[in-house]
Homo-oligomer: A and B are copies of this chain.
Amino acid sequence: MRTYALKRGGSPLYLQIYEGIKADILSGAIPAGEKLPSKRALAEHLGVSKLTVETAYSMLLSEGYISSRERSGYFAEEASMPVPAREAAGAYPRGACTDSPGGSSRDIAASGSAPSEETGFPFSVWARLMRSVIMSGGGSLLSPAPTHGLRELREAIAGEILRERGVRVDPAQIVVGAGTEYFYSQIAQFLGPGLGWALEDPSYHKIAKSYRRSGAEVFPLKADAQGVIPAGLEASGAGVLHISPAHHYPMGTVMPIARRGELARWLEGSEERYIIEDEYDSEFSFMSRPVPSMQSMDRTGRVIYLNSFSRTLAPSLRMSYMLLPEGLLDAWDERMGFYSCAVPVYEQMALARFIHEGYYERHLRRMNRAFSRARRETAELFGASPASELFELLRQGPGLHFLLRLRRGDGGEALRSALAASGISAPLLSDMYIGEPPEDAFRTAVIGYSLDPERLMRGLNGAAALLS
Contacts and interface: CB of A to CB of B under 8 A. Distances in A.
A451 B241 CA distance: 52
Interface string A106-140: 01110000111101010110111011001100110
A408 B69 CA distance: 86
A214 B213 CA distance: 10
A127 B117 contact: no
A68 interface: no
Given A123-B138, A127-B130, A127-B131, A342 B144 contact: no
Nearest to A127: B134
A292 B234 CA distance: 56
A190 B185 CA distance: 12
A100 interface: yes
Contacts of A185: 185, 189
Given A102-B146, A135-B127, A193 B215 contact: yes
A146 B103 CA distance: 6
Give the interface residue-count category, chain A. 35 or more
Interface stretch (A46-54, A268-276, A315-323, A382-390): A315-323
A130 B190 CA distance: 35
A147 interface: yes
A26 B74 CA distance: 87
B337 A318 contact: no
Given A179-B342, A181-B340, A318 B144 contact: yes
Given A102-B340, A338-B205, A316 B144 contact: yes
Interface string A289-316: 0000000000000000000001000111
Contact of A213 (B119, B124, B189, B205): B189
B315 A344 contact: no
Interface string A331-369: 000011111111111110000000000000000000000
B142 A119 contact: yes
A228 interface: no
A434 B231 CA distance: 45
Contact of A347 (B193, B338, B347): B347
A143 B142 CA distance: 26
Contacts of A379: none
A187 to B, nearest CB: 11
A345 B127 CA distance: 13
Contacts of A335: 213
Contact of A314 (B107, B117, B141, B315): B141
Contact of A101 (B124, B215, B337): B337
Contacts of A344: 316-319, 343-344, 347
Contact of A135 (B100, B123, B210): B123
Contacts of A336: 213
Interface string A142-174: 111111100000000000000000000000000
A104 interface: yes
Interface of A: 100-104, 107-109, 114-117, 119, 121, 123-124, 126-128, 130-131, 134-135, 138-139, 141-148, 178-179, 181-182, 185, 189-190, 192-193, 205-206, 209-210, 213-215, 310, 314-319, 335-347
9 contacts: A103-B340, A107-B143, A114-B139, A123-B138, A144-B315, A185-B185, A190-B213, A213-B335, A213-B336
